[in-house]
Structure 1
Amino acid sequence: MRQLLLVLASMLTLSSLDTTTVTLAGTTPDLSEILLVQKLNCNNPQTQTAINECTKLSYQNSDKKLNQAYQKLVSTLEKPRKQKLIAAQLAWIKFRDTNCEFERSRYEGGSIAPTIYFGCLENTTKLRTQELQEYLKPDP
């Protein structure tokens, strides 16, 4: 009898809630939805997930700068040198990615692995950007 009363009380409580509340209570948001709601503070990340995401964003910013320098340089070159730069850049990308995969492999399966990988990509990309910018300087 007591269980029946509990069930009836639960049903009455649920029936008094609106549909939106019941639906929200029964759903579990996925991680991407939670990340969209929370503002990412890359000045002071508090979790490994936030550190990983901030490192990725930092790399992406460096990659944009690299692409700007590359496009600027390509536009200044004659066809034979342009082809050589394109070949060099493709080889460099392959080296960068493979090298950073190797660096990350030391931490394979660990939560820090993405930070290691994106940190490597960022550092290597910054060095390459500096090289490309040097090519843009006029000869003395």
Structure 2
Amino acid sequence: MRQLLLVLASMLTLSSLNTPTVTIAGTTPDLREIRLVQRVNCNNAQTQTAINECAKLSYQRADKKLNRAYQQLLPTLETSRKQKLIAAQLAWLKFRDTNCEFERSRYDGGSIAPSIYFGCLENITKVRTQELQEYLKSDP
């Protein structure tokens, strides 16, 4: 009976936090295991946490496109140009990450900082993807 009361008390506490839960009868819930992952509606993000998550997802999509363009371009180049592209891409990645850290630093400690960071990553990544796609069009 005591264990059942603990489970019910945990459920009430969690429901007051507006957190979806799943419990198994006769066990004490482990908060790390009972949170259900919900998809974020990026067309109508309502919280800063959701906005941050959407910014991250948007950047990840842009990064996938960048990697596809890079992987398409690389085999079309002769060895010396391939090495130059690899060096340029490594330097570009360092610039992108450092630049976006700088942009984010203005909001250190703020809840908007992740959104600023991922937005910066996405924007710079899209520009670089366009550059790589142009190289693909112009190289034989």
Specify the TM-score bucket, using the shorter chain as the normaliser.
0.7 to 0.9
The residue number in structure 2 matching 1:23 is 7
Q: How many residues align?
A: 122
The within-5 A match list for 1:63-82 is: 63-82=63-82
Q: Render the CA deviation track for 1:43-65: whole Å, top value 9, x for unaligned.
A: 00010000000000000000000
The higher relative CO (CA closer than 8 Å, separation ≥ 6) is in 1
Cα RMSD of the aligned pairs, angstroms, is: 2.4
Equivalent residue in structure 1 for 2:35, among 33, 38, 41: 33
Return 5+ residue gaps in structure 1 as ranges.
1-14
- Residues 1:57 and 1:24: Cα distance change in structure 2 (over 3 Å): farther
> Aligned partners of 1:18 and 1:108: how far apart in 2?
43
SS of residue matched to 2:76: coil
Provide the TM-score with structure 1 as the length reference: 0.78
Q: Deviations over 1:18-62 (max 9, x none)?
A: 84x7436434735x935x0x3310100010000000000000000
Superposed structure 1 runs of 4+ greater than 2 Å apart: 21-30
Larger CA Rg, structure 1 vs 2: 1
Structure 2 stretches lacking a partner, 5+ long = 11-28
Structure 2 CA distance, aligned partners of 1:41 and 1:28?
A: 27
* Higher helix proportion: 1
